[in-house]
Structure 1
């Protein structure tokens, strides 16, 4: 008797479990009959034992067959899933490559502009700090240097910006080298604090 595609597709792990349990039951029944004979129950006939032995053998063959059908069923399902994945990939048009390129160009341009502005500020602060050193201004007085490479003048801190530090503040620190760098939420404390620091650098010109 040949196996139909429907039989293969309909075979589940529960079917395998049921077939194995039936085979076990037939083994137990056979063992019980044989034990009765060895215990002195001579009413158990050879025919009964042979019949039960045949049922047990058949149940094991059925269990083997159901397991094979289940393996085939899983293989066919995997083939269908692979075909569906390929179809989804081939027909997908949701990724807007033009928008991605535009966003990337915007991000790169903004990053380079931020880097240039930050570098210009840092060069200016470094020049002031060097002039302060040449004048031997102590770090302990009001007009002194600070340990961040910036300058405190008239009670106001003039720190360097360090563009790389600004970029790092946009992202949550990753867990590993290949971990993603998720952007912080728009109103994350680090984002707002950095914005406030940059606003202070402009003084009271607004």
Structure 2
């Protein structure tokens, strides 16, 4: 509710209250004169009672008029606010195409998949070259030899100095990333604003950090960090 509408309603209600009070006082005056006559007061004249009744009737008519005017004023104020709201809505221009946002998400997921596809191709090529050159199979980076340029094979993993390169099953890898990102989005969506927004943002960032850490460490691991 706008300040304009609130003020209009408050003013209308105040005017109605004042008019009703005036009508009640006029009616009370006529009733008091009548009661005095019933109690034997012969100083009250018919003209006084008639005038009091007439004043009460007139005051009631004025109260009715004020009430109708107040209702009309409230309607006018509300309609003015509604028209202002409609004008604001009509003037709005959507600057972001939600469809484009979906395209952006798709492109990001495609780039994510293509990254690991390219990574796997490189790892496979390196493994083929290492196999062709007779690089031995080892169990850990501690078994690497300078005679083999500190290269070694362990299943699908490639040992290169203190680094382990491994292919990524992104079909199984991506669902985990999407799960973490989905949880992050739910945290933000649950409290986009307000006092709990900062905590929701922190929770979302924690999920994002986990997804990023997994994405970065899954394909290449430094010795001492899972090698």
Q: TM-score, normalised by structure 2?
A: 0.53
Partners of 1:25 and 1:102 in 2: how far apart? 69
| Structure 2 counterparts to residues 88-167 of structure 1, below 5 A | 88-93=88-93, 95-97=94-96, 100-111=98-109, 161-162=175-176, 164-167=178-181
> SS of the counterpart of 2:59?
helix
The residue that corresponds to 1:147 in the other structure is none
The residue that corresponds to 1:195 in the other structure is 212
Which structure's CA Rg is the greater one? 2
Q: Which runs of 5+ in 1 are unaligned?
A: 1-7, 119-158
From 185, 201, 207, the counterpart of 1:185 = 201
RMSD: 3.8
Q: How big is the shift at 1:201?
A: 2.5
Distance 1:46 1:116, change over 3 A: farther
Q: How big is the shift at 1:203?
A: 4.2
Describe the superposition over 1:56-104 as per-residue Cα deviations: whole angstroms up to 9, x where unpaired.
11111111111111111122223322322232233334x3145x55433
Comparing both chains, which one has the higher relative contact order based on Cα–Cα distances under 8 Å and sequence gaps of 6 or more?
A: 2
The alignment status of 1:66 with 2:66, answered yes or no, reads yes
The 8 Å contact of residues 30 and 56 in structure 2, kept in 1 or not, is answered as yes
The 8 Å contact of residues 29 and 52 in structure 1, kept in 2 or not, is answered as yes
The alignment status of 1:35 with 2:35, answered yes or no, reads yes
Distance 1:58 1:192, change over 3 A: same
Describe the superposition over 1:120-149 as per-residue Cα deviations: whole angstroms up to 9, x where unpaired.
xxxxxxxxxxxxxxxxxxxxxxxxxxxxxx
Distance 1:67 1:169, change over 3 A: same
The 8 Å contact of residues 16 and 63 in structure 2, kept in 1 or not, is answered as yes
Q: TM-score, normalised by structure 1?
A: 0.58
The 8 Å contact of residues 16 and 66 in structure 1, kept in 2 or not, is answered as yes
Q: Which runs of 5+ in 2 are unaligned?
A: 1-7, 117-171
| Structure 1 residue ranges (4+ consecutive) displaced by more than 6 angstroms after TM superposition | 115-118
Partners of 1:81 and 1:32 in 2: how far apart? 46
- 19-28 or 195-204, larger mean C-alpha shift: 195-204
The 8 Å contact of residues 180 and 210 in structure 2, kept in 1 or not, is answered as no
> SS of the counterpart of 1:204?
strand
Q: How many residues align structurally?
A: 153
The residue that corresponds to 2:49 in the other structure is 49
Whichever structure has more helix as a proportion of its residues is 2
Partners of 1:117 and 1:168 in 2: how far apart? 21
The residue that corresponds to 2:159 in the other structure is none
